[in-house]
Amino acid sequence: MPLSPDQQAEVDELRSAPTQTLRATVPGIEAHLYKAMDVLDHGFVRVIDYMGDDSAICQAARVSYGRGTKSVQNDEGLIRYLMRHWHSTPFEMCEIKLHVKLPVFVARQWIRHRTANVNEYSARYSILDREFYIPEPDALAAQSVVNNQGRGEALSGEEAERVLRYLRDDAMRSYDHYEEMISQDGQQGLARELARMNLPANIYTQWYWKVDLHNLFHFLRLRADAHAQYEIRVYADAICEVVKDWVPAAYKAFEDYRMGGANLSGTAITCIQRMLKGEKVTQENSGMSKGEWREFLAVLE
């Protein structure tokens, strides 16, 4: 179960006692507060707190850029202008704090985004639960032969069953030994901070993650992308649903200019200009490497 009984009791108590405030609130994200959105087999994402809304972005921009924004007549237009021209500071005026339960190997990817405040569950102080991420059979895939950090064809049949059996058996065996090492039943148990080293990377951990909207959009642009690893992408997808309800105008601009847009090099733009003039442009006369040309064609198509 993603939420423990104690956590669920805390959620129920917090949602049953709303408080008044003079600060800006957003009904869309208020509906998400404290609720856990299930992710993977034991994970979740839930909103603990937030600050700001679409209008806070515009307020900050008008203070920061002054008369330069007067030609933009409405907040949505201003937000799109800011996103289009990579003005990041106004988006930093909004913040969100999330409670995330995730496998350790996903956490190690996630923590690479060093632009947030993080407080993780301490396995030095507390005992980790016997919960492991075991993929669904259709999420098992062989190593890609063209991408060293990607997946290829899905495993099936006996091979998939063998992998799943190894994952389950090895995780359970490691946890059995972990429990045995920290046990104080008639003897002095090993320190928790040492016993944890034997746990597998698919065990679940939890943390509070607080980030501003600008850096959150950067995280989502990379991790909600179709090329991101599935196990972190599903968390990013869940967060996207929250952000969409929190700052709808900013999220719409983000979808358009970042998720749905593309960055082109000067060489790529020159190639497009040549194509528009009717010239036949190939990889050989484009000035691009084979990899660049392949990515360029993918954008055009």
Phi, psi of 192 (to 5 degrees): -60, -35
pLDDT at 120: 95
Please, are residues 139 and 232 in contact by the beta-carbon 8 Å criterion?
no
- Residue position matching structure tokens 């956490």: 107
Residue 74 tokens read as 């409405």
Same-domain check for residues 96 and 243: yes
Alpha carbon 138 to its chain's center: 21
Domain final position from 161, 179, 200:
200
Q: Which pLDDT value is given to residue 22? A: 84
The reported pLDDT for the residue numbered 158 is: 87
Cα–Cα distance, 245 to 250 (Å, whole number):
10
Last residue of a domain, one of 178, 200, 222: 200
Cα(78)–Cα(98) distance, rounded to whole angstroms? 27
CATH at residue 250: 3.30.1360.170
Q: What is the mean pLDDT of each run of 10 residues along the chain (301 residues)?
A: 79 80 91 94 96 94 66 81 95 97 97 95 91 91 69 80 94 95 80 93 97 98 94 98 97 96 94 96 95 93 85
**In a shared domain, residues 272 and 192:** no
Do 125 and 20 share a domain, yes or no?
yes
The pair of three-digit structure tokens given for residue 245, joined into one six-digit string: 């309800």
Q: Which range of residues forms the domain containing residue 273?
A: 266-300
Give me the count of residues in the chain. 301
Which residue in the block uniquely carries the two structure tokens 């669904």? 136
**pLDDT of 47:** 97
Do 19 and 122 sit in the same domain of this protein?
yes
Residues 57 and 188 in one domain: no
What is the pLDDT, as a whole number, of residue 150? 67
pLDDT at 68: 53
Q: What is the pLDDT of residue 134?
A: 96
Rounded Cα distance between 93 and 283, Å, is: 44
Say if residue 158 is in the same domain as residue 244: no
Are 220 and 82 contained in the same domain? yes
Q: How many Cα atoms within 13 Å fall on the side-chain side of residue 47?
A: 21
Of 183, 200, 217, which residue sits at a domain end?
200
Q: Do 154 and 253 have their domain in common?
A: no
99 and 222 housed in the same domain = yes
In whole angstroms, give the CA distance from residue 284 to residue 9.
Answer: 64
Relative orientation angle of helices 230-246 and 213-223, to the nearest 10 degrees = 140
Same domain as 147, residue 102: no
Query: What pLDDT, on a 0 to 100 scale, did the predictor assign at position 139?
Result: 86
Give the Cα separation of 236 and 230 in Å (integer): 10
Question: Are residue 159 and residue 46 in the same domain, yes or no?
Answer: no
**Percentage helix, strand, coil for the chain under 3-state DSSP, each rounded to 5:** 50, 15, 35
Q: Please confirm, yes or no, whether 130 is among the known catalytic residues.
A: no
Question: How many structural domains comprise the chain?
Answer: 3
- Write down the pLDDT at residue 153: 78
Catalytic residue among 80, 196, 223, 258: 223
Together in a domain, 147 and 255: no
